[in-house]
Amino acid sequence: MWTIGAEQMEAIAVGSAVYGTGGGGDPYLGKLLAQRQLDLHGSVSLIDVLSLDDEALVIPVAGVGAPLVLTEKLPAVEPLMTALHALEKHLGQRADATLCVEAGGFNSTIPFSVASRLGLPVIDGDVIGRAFPELQMTTCTMHGIAATPLAIVDDKSHVVLLQSGNNAFAERITRGALTEMGGSCAAALYPMTGAQAKKAVIRGSIRALQHTGELLMNARKRGVNPVNALVEGLGGVLLFQGKVGDVERRLEGGWQRGAVTIQGLDAFQGSVARLELQNEFLFASVNGTPVAMTPDLICTLDSESGDPITSEAMRYGLRVSIMGLPCDVSWRSAKGLELAGPRYFGYDTDYVPLHECSALASV
């Protein structure tokens, strides 16, 4: 068991932005919300999933919707608590722990708000290992764990309870509901037993986010190149560096979709990179050749400070570095690639692992 207070949330939020792969919502807002609750109600216990009783009830809480909307509709803890209590009432059982759905972005920080307020522990792990745009894209789906019953709550306290036997269909219905709710809402979903959590949870991912944040923060203190520190410390690949030349962005079906074009600088002078996104960056190419693709992570960093840059913050003129990170091994399975591989998102290519893909592009 580890203790998470307001101070630890700084590093977790920085790491969350890196693993958010451009999406998942701005963890800065979730960090402020969590730090406020931690200051008011006390620190949170971060526990290993293996310490849970098999009969324990785990209820993750999350924000769902387009990240761009979250910059205008600021998060609050009350809708998250309402969603959790609605699901507890429906199940007739109180939650024993909560869980981050994503190890990336907004959803890696906001469960700490609810946990502090209610005195619940947070499991050190998640069920994605990064951020993904669709509700069914989790290791829970790989293990046959239902996303429903789930509860979603908007900023006007409207509550929708959903029951479905199919996680992909639950995504479709939830996406339609949240569009009517203004593009974003709070959710309690994927209720599971301790036994199920032990199968599905990617262990240690929250402490990995903290470690990532500390890598970046320490690099700045030591005056070393922060981008290189992250690439080397995380076993990543530097895919490209340049200046943002064009940003295409639109809200479509409850998602932020678009693409970013980057003109190469320094060692990449004369080349052009393109990042395609659906909330998160999903496909990266240089001069038309793929260099990284989902489910591997495509992370965008400020070339000078190393600060992660979310897709909604991308704008003309930014100097950016693109870093690739390997995904959790579960996503490279047949089930994982069916859920979130390049062909699922409409790219006409089979999945090529990050280090192979970037090496082929270099050749």
Top-level class of domain 2-205: alpha beta
Identify whether the C-beta of residue 188 lies closer than 8 Å to the C-beta of residue 160.
no
Identify whether the C-beta of residue 59 lies closer than 8 Å to the C-beta of residue 146.
no
Helices of type H across the chain: 6-19, 27-41, 67-70, 77-91, 111-118, 139-142, 167-180, 194-200, 205-222, 226-234, 334-340, 354-362
Q: How confident is the model at residue 363 (pLDDT cuts 50, 70, 90)?
A: very low
Judged by DSSP in three states, 67 sits in: helix
Integer-rounded Cα radius of gyration of the chain? 19
C-alpha 63/C-alpha 101 separation (Å) is: 10
- Of residues 311 and 246, more confidence is placed in 246
Q: Is residue 71 over pLDDT 70? A: no
- Percent of the chain exceeding pLDDT 90 equals 82
In the chain, the amino acid numbered 74 is L
The pLDDT score that the predictor gives to residue 189 is: 97
Instruction: Give the residue range(s) of CATH 3.40.1610.10 domains in the chain.
Output: 2-205
Q: pLDDT digits over 216-239, tens only?
A: 999 999 999 999 999 999 999 999
Q: pLDDT digits over 50-68, tens only?
A: 999 999 999 999 988 766 6
C-alpha 111/C-alpha 96 separation (Å) is: 13
What is the number of residues in the chain?
A: 363
